[in-house]
Amino acid sequence: MINLDVKKNNTILIMSGTEEEGEDGLATATINKPKRPPRYKVLLHNDDFTTMEFVVMILKKHFNKTLDEANAIMLKVHHDGIGICGVYTREVAETKVEKVKNEAKQNGFPLLCTFEPNE
């Protein structure tokens, strides 16, 4: 019989045999857990032309925000000049930025959407 015991420091204790059988072996091994991929903040920037309603629609449609969440982010963008829409892996962040830019352009708005490392 083999028992595995994983410790918080990624050390595995492997015990074979049982005390009743007179077999007591103990070995340790260190495993490396895969690292979480870097995360990126998607940001909306304020401008004097994009309507608040359009920003709220973008937040609901592309970032799955509720109406209340979208309004809060929109007001942060309006008052502070920038707001965080969400934090994603690089590929997801890039895709969201492109979708927002394309939709803003199609609707005649200069809405700026960018992403940066989440530190």
pLDDT digits (tens, 9 = 90+) for 87-116: 999 999 999 999 999 999 999 999 999 999
- Domain parsing of the chain, residue ranges: 1-33, 39-117
**Torsion angle in degrees (nearest 10) through CA of 77, 83, 85, 87:** 180
pLDDT digits (tens, 9 = 90+) for 25-72: 666 667 788 888 999 999 999 999 999 999 999 999 999 999 999 999
| C-alpha radius of gyration, the chain, whole number | 25
The rounded Cα 54 to chain-centroid distance in angstroms is 24
Which pLDDT band holds residue 7 (cuts at 50, 70, 90)? low
| Residue carrying the six token digits 């045999």 | 17
Q: Over 60: is that where the pLDDT of 1 sits?
A: no
Q: 3 - beta bridge partners?
A: 15
Q: Looking at residue 57, what is its pLDDT?
A: 98
For the domain with range 39-117, which CATH number is right: 3.30.1390.10, 1.10.3720.10, 2.40.37.10, 3.30.70.1520?
3.30.1390.10
